[in-house]
Structure 1
Amino acid sequence: MASRNISFATIPASTRKPGKYFEFNTRLAVRTLPGNPQRVLVIGQRLAAGSQAALQAVEVFSDEQAAQLFGRGSQVHLMARAAITANPYLQLTVISVDDAAAGLAATGKLTLAGKADSNGVLSLWVGTQRVDVAIAAGDTAAIVASALHTALTRHADLPLQASLAAPVLNLTARNKGSQGNWIKLRASSTAKGLTVVSDASLSGGSIDPDLRPATAAVVAAGHHIIACPTPEAEPLQQLRQHLEFVSGAMEQRGAIATAGWPGSLATGTALMAQSNSGRISMAWHRGSNKLPCEIAAGYAAVLASEEDPARPLNTLEIKGLDVPAIADQTMRTEQENALYNGLTPLEVGPGGRVQIVRAVSSYTRDPQGVEDESLLDITTMRTLDYVRRACRERVSLRFPRDKLSARTPDKVRSEILDVLYKLEELEILEAVDANKDGVLVERDLQNVGWLCVKIPADVVNGLHVIAGRIDLLL
């Protein structure tokens, strides 16, 4: 059975028995572009109390579920909570790692002194969470320290735990590693005579776990956004290697990663220079009492809320983040500096909402060290990933078992152009007509059975600046 324009998949040409045979062809059914729901993967450290084993990915739907699976107050529990707070409808997958065997937990002390001459309240802030203890006139520092220890024990969601050596509370991060160094403490007493001698933030945490076993365990899962647990050079480089592998031409599961940075501009931009990746974006929220992992998870969740890959993320709120002190809030000149150096600044908008200024990648220079803004906005990489997916899925549907003849290149080119025009309708690409002559589909000169395809993609850019001039007329 042979026809110039019709081929059959299940009706054999050798059939001799008379009959009327009809098969179903679903290859032409899909004429639209694929959907673009975003799946977020959170990687973080667990506690032994959690029921979910390390390196086993699981979908998470609530804060309480994360607490039970990974241990209350664990790094990955706090990340899941931050992500769900920022985007309650998130498609969230979590995979945990154990603390590094040689890791050290950050430690700190809270020391009380004196005796209360009046009733009052002792308040301790651990990050953004506050623990209050009532003080009665006559209470000694030891009595209040003991009461605070009891209160802290009840707050199992805190990222630290306390031991009592009245009137001193010894504080230790629940997870080992550098994350504990970001836990901020602040204490105050309204009772006269009772004072807080020291409330230093935690320090001394070191040696973070290797993320590579976790990324290897989910390498085929196809997550679109990965939240990095620790803003350090080594974890970011490990994630960069993973992203380059899964997003490459052979695997084609495009993904990006987010990180969080509450520290200084200089240190943050230096860290991004070491990353220099079009697939990594770090949100800068200077002075925040949130942990970096919480900022990263909230940022990832907000990115996932926007399914249009080309639409800018400017002004989107990251719910759950705190408002830093006025002195820590970023100025315009600092934001410009951050954006030129691969760091995504956050700012406090109207109503005390923490929102994205402009989401950029950490890529600022090409392999020669030349400044390169081709992948400045994280939307550019997200758009390219979607264009590739749309073209790949269309040709996969249309040509699952086709032969390569002289007519095949034109058929493939026609399908690709159809996809490009549909992408233009959605304002994901533009100038398709102007660039259509650049869509090439031709046979490979060396490999029989290969078609080589070139697809020009003029990505629609975000509207970031409107510049106007007002002419005074008298």
Structure 2
Amino acid sequence: MASQHINFDTIPASTRKPGHYYEFNTRLAVRTLPGNPQRVLVIGQRLASGSQPALQAVDVFSDAKAAQLFGQGSQAHLMARAAIVANPYLQLSVIGVDDAPASIAASGKLKLEGSASSAGVFSLWVGNQRIDIGVANGDSAAKVLQSLHAVFYTRIADFPVSASLENGSITLSARNKGSQGNGIRLRSQCTATGLLASHPANLTGGSVDPDLRPALAAVAAAGHQIIASPLAEAEALQQLRQHLEFVSGPMEQRGAIATAGWPGSLATGTALMAQINSGRISMAWHRGSFALPCEIAAGYAAVAASEEDPARPLNTLEIKGLDVPPLADQTMRTEQENALYNGLTPLEVGPGGRVQIVRAVSSYTRDAQGVEDEALLDLTTIRTLDYVRRACRQRTTQRFPRDKLSERTPDKVRSEILDVLYKLEELEILEAVDANKDGVLVERDQQNVGWLCVRIPADVVNGLHVIAGRIDLLL
């Protein structure tokens, strides 16, 4: 059989027996754009008490399940909980990693002196979790410490620390070893007079973090759209950057971004982002937060996943579960501007004490020559490009799964791509398609037989971030 406009896939041209033969063609069935569900991957350190082996990703749907799989109070458990609190309808996978063999756990001592001369409450915050101990008039420091120690083993099992009581003090040790434990902040308050507490502001001494590359290699083919980093330090984020560039590249084409969290100073945060400089990595800055960096990263990733429109900004979206920092630590407008110019995504406390995103930007600020570059400033830009590629690729693979390359083929391919671009314009993902349609080129490669080379101009729709107005006084 030979026809100028009709190709058959399963009816042999050599058929001679009379009959009426009809095959089914599904290549033209889909005329819409693909969906854009956002799957989040959390990478976190596990505990030996967890039932899930290291380096094996698993879907997680609840806080309790994460505790069972990765150990209660483990970094992976806390990150999963933060993600689920921020977005309960999240498609979440978690992969656990073991502590590095040579790692050391961060620790700190809590001491109490004196005795209570009035009744009250002793409160201890470990990270953003709180313990309250009732204090009776006349209670000694030793008795209060014993009560506090008992709480760690009875009512509170998902703290990121374990506690040991000895020599009139409680030693708090991070459950997972490594530098992440140094981010566990402590604070206390006692309404009973006569008792004096002393402890460091943070646990200290944690060192040697796990290598993330085996975990990233284990999930390279899984196709997660957002990865939450357990660590906010250069080596781990550079490993993550390398992974993202691989899976998102033109050969693998599984576009993904990553999030990190930063509760520290503006200067250290922007210095860290300068070492990363990636359009696919975004770090949320929540100065003064008692949440761990990994918890901030997981909450941020979960909220980013809630927005399936790749071009729609994340401005003002709340990250549920994050604490409100002390007023002195909350960021000012000038600091936020500085952060946005230096690849750091600031969070702020909005009305009602809601912690929300100011503007989601990537860590990319300079090109390969070190010149300032705004091409990938907003996180929406790379997410939009990923989706445009996905939509064009879906259409061409559906329409041309095993076509011949003739003089008519380039026009057919160009027509399908233009149809995709117009549909993207209808959804306000791209704009000015008509103005740029002459730039859509489909032509044969001059060196490789069987190749078509395609150029697709993509004028992405930008977010509305500023409305500037002037009010003219008329008397």
- TM-score surpassing 0.5? yes
Residue 424 of structure 2 aligns with which residue? 423
After TM superposition, give the deviation of residue 199 of structure 1 in Å: 4.6
Distance of 1:240 and 1:419 partners within structure 2:
30
Q: 1:312-336 CA deviation, whole Å, 9 max, x = no partner?
A: 1100000001111110000000000
User: CA, structure 1 residues 200+340, in 2 after alignment: closer, same or farther (shift >3 Å)?
Assistant: closer
Distance of 1:251 and 1:7 partners within structure 2:
30
Worse-matched range after superposition: 281-290 or 188-197: 188-197
Residue 73 of structure 1 aligns with which residue? 73
Residue 117 of structure 2 aligns with which residue? 117
Work out whether 1:447 is the aligned partner of 2:452.
no
Distance of 1:279 and 1:303 partners within structure 2:
13
Work out whether 1:99 is the aligned partner of 2:96.
no
Q: 1:65-90 CA deviation, whole Å, 9 max, x = no partner?
A: 00000000000100000000000000
Q: Note the residue ranges of structure 2 that are not aligned, 5 or more in a row.
A: none
Q: Which residue identity does 1:19 align to in structure 2?
A: G
What pairs up with 1:73-472 in 2 under 5 angstroms?
A: 73-154=73-154, 155-472=156-473
SS of 2:121's equivalent?
strand
Q: Which residue identity does 1:396 align to in structure 2?
A: T
After TM superposition, give the deviation of residue 149 of structure 1 in Å: 0.5
Residue 42 of structure 2 aligns with which residue? 42
SS of 2:125's equivalent?
strand
Distance of 1:221 and 1:289 partners within structure 2:
33
Distance of 2:434 and 2:166 partners within structure 1:
75
After TM superposition, give the deviation of residue 127 of structure 1 in Å: 1.3
SS of 2:391's equivalent?
helix
SS of 2:118's equivalent?
coil
SS of 2:338's equivalent?
helix
Q: 1:386-413 CA deviation, whole Å, 9 max, x = no partner?
A: 0000000000000001000110000000
The 8 Å contact of residues 187 and 199 in structure 1, kept in 2 or not, is answered as no
The 8 Å contact of residues 276 and 362 in structure 1, kept in 2 or not, is answered as yes
The 8 Å contact of residues 109 and 200 in structure 1, kept in 2 or not, is answered as no
Q: Which residue identity does 1:103 align to in structure 2?
A: S
After TM superposition, what 4+ stretches of structure 1 lie above 6 angstroms from structure 2?
none
After TM superposition, give the deviation of residue 134 of structure 1 in Å: 1.7
Q: 1:368-427 CA deviation, whole Å, 9 max, x = no partner?
A: 001000000000000000000000000000000100011000000000000000000000
Q: Which residue identity does 1:127 align to in structure 2?
A: G
Q: Which residue identity does 1:221 align to in structure 2?
A: A
Residue 64 of structure 1 aligns with which residue? 64
SS of 1:94's equivalent?
strand
Q: Which residue identity does 1:404 align to in structure 2?
A: L
Aligned alpha-carbon RMSD (Å): 0.8
SS of 1:453's equivalent?
strand
Distance of 1:367 and 1:198 partners within structure 2:
46
Distance of 1:188 and 1:262 partners within structure 2:
22
Aligned residues: 474
The 8 Å contact of residues 110 and 200 in structure 1, kept in 2 or not, is answered as no
Work out whether 1:32 is the aligned partner of 2:26.
no
Distance of 1:445 and 1:427 partners within structure 2:
35
TM-score (norm 2): 0.99
The 8 Å contact of residues 108 and 199 in structure 2, kept in 1 or not, is answered as no
SS of 1:18's equivalent?
coil
The 8 Å contact of residues 103 and 178 in structure 2, kept in 1 or not, is answered as yes
The 8 Å contact of residues 281 and 360 in structure 1, kept in 2 or not, is answered as yes
After TM superposition, give the deviation of residue 147 of structure 1 in Å: 1.1
Q: Which residue identity does 2:56 align to in structure 1?
A: Q
After TM superposition, give the deviation of residue 197 of structure 1 in Å: 3.1
Q: Which residue identity does 1:147 align to in structure 2?
A: S
SS of 1:124's equivalent?
strand
After TM superposition, give the deviation of residue 225 of structure 1 in Å: 0.2
Distance of 1:129 and 1:63 partners within structure 2:
15
Q: Which residue identity does 2:106 align to in structure 1?
A: A
Q: Which residue identity does 1:432 align to in structure 2?
A: V
Q: Which residue identity does 1:151 align to in structure 2?
A: V
After TM superposition, give the deviation of residue 166 of structure 1 in Å: 4.3
Distance of 2:345 and 2:195 partners within structure 1:
43
Residue 9 of structure 2 aligns with which residue? 9
Q: Note the residue ranges of structure 1 that are not aligned, 5 or more in a row.
A: none
Distance of 1:106 and 1:153 partners within structure 2:
20
Q: 1:230-269 CA deviation, whole Å, 9 max, x = no partner?
A: 1000000000000000000000000000000000000000
The 8 Å contact of residues 186 and 199 in structure 2, kept in 1 or not, is answered as no
User: CA, structure 1 residues 280+300, in 2 after alignment: closer, same or farther (shift >3 Å)?
Assistant: same
TM-score (norm 1): 0.99
Q: Which residue identity does 2:317 align to in structure 1?
A: L
Percent identity for Structure 1 against Structure 2? 81
The 8 Å contact of residues 142 and 166 in structure 1, kept in 2 or not, is answered as no
After TM superposition, give the deviation of residue 192 of structure 1 in Å: 2.2
Distance of 1:261 and 1:268 partners within structure 2:
7
SS of 1:223's equivalent?
coil
SS of 1:347's equivalent?
strand
SS of 2:40's equivalent?
strand
After TM superposition, give the deviation of residue 472 of structure 1 in Å: 1.2
The 8 Å contact of residues 258 and 299 in structure 1, kept in 2 or not, is answered as yes
SS of 1:380's equivalent?
helix
